[in-house]
A and B are shown apart, each in its own frame.
Chain A
Amino acid sequence: MAEITMTAPRARQAEMAEGKKPPIIRPKASGDDLIMRGCLVVVGVFFLVTVVLPLYALLKKSVEDANGGFIGLANFAAYFQDPALTQSLQNTVSMAVISTILTLSLAFGYAYALTRSCMPARGLFKAIALIPLLAPSLLPGLALVYLFGNQGVLKSLLFGETIYGPIGIIIGEVFFAFPHALMILVTALSMADQRLYEAADALRAKPMKTFFSVTLPGCRYGLISAAFVIFTLVFTDFGVPKVIGGEYNVLATDVYRQVIGQFNFHMGAVVGLILMLPAVVSFFVDRLVQRKQVALLTARAVPLTPKPRTLIDGFCLVLCLVVSMFLLAILGMAAFGSFIKFWPYNLTLTLSKYDFGALGTGGWGDYFNSLRMAALVAVIGTTIVFVNAYMVEKSNGFRWGRNLIHFFAMVPLAVPGIVLGLAYIFFFNAPNNPLNFIYTTMTILVVNTITHFYTVCHLTALTALKQVDAEFEAVSASLKVPFYKTFWRVTVPVCLPAIVDIGIYYFVNAMTTVSAVIFLYSSETKLMSISALNTEDAGNTAQACAMGMTIVATSAILRGIQALLAKRLQRRSQAWRTR
């Protein structure tokens, strides 16, 4: 920490000293501050409509009886008497803890290799790591069965254990959570001050010592964010346990059972509320950690250029190879599944499963709906996320408002898709809601998807912004440059890689989203991810794989275009990084 304090700007030291004094003199809000607060209020209203009110519309059912009368905590009492509950809770927590530890270790190693090593093919490895994001959750589920199920090609690797249960859940969840964690950690690790490492070198610190006293503290915020993201994702995910969990019950499958099996929205709301607990905890921890995070990228920072280190680079390469092989094996198996006639008894290859029109309904129309929605989500969502994160991070004063908005931004992660979808019906379809005309339109799908995937985007944007020194704003302010000019000329270009990442993240998630939108679409706005689910449900597994692979291919092509553009962008907007 000593090194960091050394380079911390004076303004911050002054601020810290000031913090000890009772705040008698309040600085007057400047014009900039007022504009920013205005923006925050707008964002606050956005969250009110997209998160708070819909969730309230659903969660208030947890204290109501079937006829809408208030019954206090009776539903909770009934739920806690369910003998399966303790087991579900225990199972959920242990799955979440194990998956978090595994995913975090792998993703940190992988992110370190991508950002701090000189191993070859880093771009390729980064692209491969995104695979799980591109695939609708149905694909890994089927692929795991094809690989490790009772007829699986690699079944012997499990030594007689069954994939249906904790092992399958953990493999599935690591696969599923990996890119989410990686995205945050790459952002956290890619911004570092070369001078810190030079100083460590000059002080003859051992590499280990440098790692623990410079590298780790530098990305502590990213690490903790990533850990909470993984934990919450696994805690609330029902896609993986539903397909591969056998009868290993978790809380999220309880919601499914209550809502889709028994149409008991009140109990669904009860479990939904319990599922939100980790996010509430994470919010407070996040606030604590954040207070200690110091901007790494001061205005005088020199960006880090990794130097070749044979041993570490070699280790990084091996790790990346192993992880990529695992990710590719799952995708490859799903791809194979889309070309065969009938698993596992007729492995003749065929292209016929890609003839989506053959079923009579939807077909490629669903595909174009998906594409349109994903594009809208990417453009609108990224704009909202980044501007909002900037306001939360860089505005002055108005602390409670900023905290509140940050809290709202953290909530969506903890809300299982099925809960969010139901909440949207109850809120947006209410007869007295002036917004009810958007129900079943493309608009509600876009709004829902932006909200559903908000948190990871928000954390990525914050992680990027935190590493840009506040001194830029301070200097701008003293030169009387309005904040939006600094925002447009400095912040946006500096954060451009993160912004593009957020856009892509939104796009690919919009292509694969299912559980939140399944209650909201109409025949005009049907999405391909939903078609794939229904096709699988109808027993056409291979065709469902083909639809999934079409989604994967689309997102992969977009990623390819991004990689090409990124090179040019990098040269233009990131030139400051090179010396």
Chain B
Amino acid sequence: MTSTHQFLRRLGGLTLGAVTALTVLSAGAQAETVLKVYTALEEEQMPVYKAAFEKANPDIKIEWQRDSTGVITARLLAEKDNRQADIVWGLAATSLMLLDKQGMLEPYKPQGFDQIKDLFKDTRTDKPTWVGMDAWAGALCYNTVEGEKAGVTKPESWADLLKPEYKGHIAMPNPGSSGTGFLDVAAWLQMMGEKGGWDYMDKLHENIAAYLHSGSKPCKAAAAGEYIVGISFAYPGVQLKNQGAPVEVILPKEGIGWDMEATGIMKGTKNLEAAKKLADFAASADANKLYNDSYQVLARKDVEAKVPENYPADEANKLIKNDFYWAADHRDTILAEWQKRYGSKDAPK
């Protein structure tokens, strides 16, 4: 029997060790009020924002959960039945509208709500569930070195991209995989009308080298010389330019589609009071000044926005009159049509 004992002891020892290890590892930290904040902010913005908020509210501690827009939105939706987040700070407004549609957001008017521009809040209701922070708009990234080599000039407008010289040199996000891609498609349809928009895309399709699965990737690929023009948004282009990439960030002159970063409290949060304080802070002038380090168009009327380094000027005037609700309502049909027209290329050009 000794051998049985030995075996069981060994087995028991292993299991016990494993269980102890797991229990020790999963014990979390206990502190003041800990707010679970879901976000798609850039990594370098997070410590700055967190420090500013915690300085103003010493009794509240932020615990981030950060991922790219697509992943964090999918996670929020998947957690619908047992929400982990207390509040969302810094996620695309279109994503927050999806959560709102599912009844997952708590209505709240933060302090200084009337200082928020109309574009940045839901004016249709008296009980807004999300509040905008800043806008990010579509943009072109143009690689000057490769452009010169191939004799491809810098585009200034959407119409320019249809010229034969761009054939095989343009990358664009697949609207089915990327919110940025969808933002562009929705903007074209709104600017040029249903028929004009699809006609434009038919012609653009002839010049596209690849549809990529992320919104920032076309710009990054352009900065690395893989393509000459990337249809993307301004932030990654500015970042890459700051790192020394030979890219120009262009806001096409016809106007650009845009989305905003926004804040919304999760319905059912156990830390509603603390979450409200964060929502207040996110809508404050102080916070808007922080947003201004990365973005040019801000939510507050009373904060004078400067142009961040290397950022193309005059963004505010190029934003189209974007109907988010129209885009959200027609999303499925637009994507199905897009997929039918351009989704089944058999091989890349």
Q: Residues of A with Cβ closer than 8 Å to B?
A: 82-84, 87, 145, 149-151, 162, 164-166, 242, 246-249, 253, 256-257, 259-263, 265, 341-346, 359-361, 372, 376, 379-380, 383, 422, 425-426, 429-431, 436, 438-443, 446, 482, 484-485, 488, 518-519, 522-524, 534-535, 537-539, 541
A537 near B339 with CB under 8 A, answer no
Query: Apart from A164-B348, A263-B98, A360-B47, what are 7 other A-B pairs with CB-CB below 8 Å?
Result: A248-B347, A260-B74, A360-B48, A429-B84, A482-B3, A518-B71, A538-B236
Q: Does B31 contact A (CB under 8 A)?
A: no
A379 contact set on B, CB distance < 8 A = 14, 18
B65 near A166 with CB under 8 A, answer no
Which residue of B has the minimal Cβ distance to A447? B22
Per-position binary interface string of chain B over residues 39-83, scored 1 when its CB falls under 8 Å from any chain A CB and 0 otherwise: 000111011100000000000000111111011011101110110
Contacts known (A84-B339, A84-B344); A488 close to B46, Cβ less than 8 A: no
Closest chain-B Cβ to A324's Cβ sits at a distance in Å of 28
B211: contacting residue among A82, A247, A341, A429, CB under 8 A: A247
A259 near B74 with CB under 8 A, answer yes
B236 contact set on A, CB distance < 8 A = 538-539
B159 contact set on A, CB distance < 8 A = none
Contacts known (A429-B84, A438-B26, A523-B64); A166 close to B216, Cβ less than 8 A: no
B43 near A360 with CB under 8 A, answer yes
B214 contact set on A, CB distance < 8 A = 537
B177 near A260 with CB under 8 A, answer yes
A484 near B7 with CB under 8 A, answer yes
Closest chain-A Cβ to B39's Cβ sits at a distance in Å of 11
A262 contact set on B, CB distance < 8 A = 176, 331, 335
Which residue of A has the minimal Cβ distance to B145? A345
Closest chain-A Cβ to B10's Cβ sits at a distance in Å of 8
Contacts known (A242-B213, A522-B65); A87 close to B344, Cβ less than 8 A: yes
A82 near B244 with CB under 8 A, answer no
Which residue of A has the minimal Cβ distance to B6? A488
A519: contacting residue among B63, B78, B216, CB under 8 A: B78
B78 near A166 with CB under 8 A, answer no
A361: contacting residue among B64, B98, B243, CB under 8 A: B64
A342 near B65 with CB under 8 A, answer no
Contacts known (A247-B211, A262-B335); A534 close to B68, Cβ less than 8 A: yes
B43 near A425 with CB under 8 A, answer no
A441: contacting residue among B25, B145, B174, CB under 8 A: B25
A256 contact set on B, CB distance < 8 A = 177, 213
A359 contact set on B, CB distance < 8 A = 43-44
A83 near B4 with CB under 8 A, answer no
A534 contact set on B, CB distance < 8 A = 43, 66-68
A260 near B25 with CB under 8 A, answer no
A425 near B75 with CB under 8 A, answer yes
A372 near B177 with CB under 8 A, answer no
Closest chain-A Cβ to B209's Cβ sits at a distance in Å of 8
Q: Residues of B with Cβ closer than 8 Å to A?
A: 3-4, 7, 10, 14, 18, 21-22, 25-26, 28-29, 42-44, 46-48, 63-68, 70-71, 73-75, 77-79, 81-82, 84, 98, 145, 174-179, 210-211, 213-214, 216, 220, 223-227, 236, 239-240, 243-246, 331, 335, 339-340, 343-348
Contacts known (A246-B210, A257-B213, A359-B43); A519 close to B74, Cβ less than 8 A: yes
B227 near A150 with CB under 8 A, answer yes
A263 near B243 with CB under 8 A, answer no
B25 near A485 with CB under 8 A, answer no
A345 near B245 with CB under 8 A, answer yes
Give the complex CA separation of A361 and B84 in angstroms.
Answer: 21
A166 contact set on B, CB distance < 8 A = 347
A484 contact set on B, CB distance < 8 A = 3-4, 7
21 CB-based A-B contacts, threshold 8 Å: A145-B224, A150-B226, A162-B348, A249-B344, A265-B74, A265-B78, A341-B244, A344-B224, A345-B145, A379-B18, A425-B75, A430-B81, A430-B82, A431-B82, A436-B82, A439-B84, A482-B3, A524-B28, A534-B66, A539-B239, A541-B220
A522 contact set on B, CB distance < 8 A = 63, 65
Closest chain-A Cβ to B182's Cβ sits at a distance in Å of 8
Give the complex CA separation of A376 and B63 in angstroms.
Answer: 25
Closest chain-A Cβ to B17's Cβ sits at a distance in Å of 8
Give the complex CA separation of A485 and B10 in angstroms.
Answer: 12
Contacts known (A361-B46, A537-B68); A482 close to B177, Cβ less than 8 A: no
B244 near A360 with CB under 8 A, answer no
B348: contacting residue among A248, A376, A380, CB under 8 A: A248
With a 10 A CB-CB cut-off, give which of A247, A426, A485 has the most chain B CB atoms: A247
Give the complex CA separation of A122 and B206 in angstroms.
Answer: 52
A485 near B7 with CB under 8 A, answer yes
A443 near B26 with CB under 8 A, answer yes
A263 contact set on B, CB distance < 8 A = 73-74, 77, 98
Closest chain-B Cβ to A246's Cβ sits at a distance in Å of 4
A426 contact set on B, CB distance < 8 A = 78
B179 contact set on A, CB distance < 8 A = 261
B344 near A482 with CB under 8 A, answer no
Give the complex CA separation of A247 and B208 in angstroms.
Answer: 11
A342 near B74 with CB under 8 A, answer no
Which residue of A has the minimal Cβ distance to B345? A247
B176 contact set on A, CB distance < 8 A = 257, 261-262
B70: contacting residue among A260, A344, A485, CB under 8 A: A260
Q: Which 9 A-B pairs have the closest CB atoms?
A: A441-B26, A261-B177, A260-B70, A360-B47, A246-B348, A442-B25, A84-B344, A151-B225, A425-B78
A361 near B63 with CB under 8 A, answer no
A151: contacting residue among B98, B226, B340, CB under 8 A: B226
